[in-house]
Amino acid sequence: MAGSYQVQGVLDSPPGSGQFSGTLTIAQPSRETSALTGSANVSVTVAGRTQKFTTFTFVQLSQDGSVQLYLAPPTTSTDVFHFMGQVSGRNMSGRSDVTVNNSVYFGTFTATR
Could you tell me if 21 and 8 are in contact, meaning their C-beta atoms sit under 8 angstroms apart?
A: yes
What pLDDT sits at residue 49?
A: 87
What pLDDT sits at residue 9?
A: 97
Per-10-residue mean pLDDT of the chain, 113 residues long, equals 93 92 88 77 91 90 89 87 95 95 94 96
* Separation between Cα atoms, residue 8 and residue 108, nearest integer Å: 9
What pLDDT sits at residue 74?
A: 87
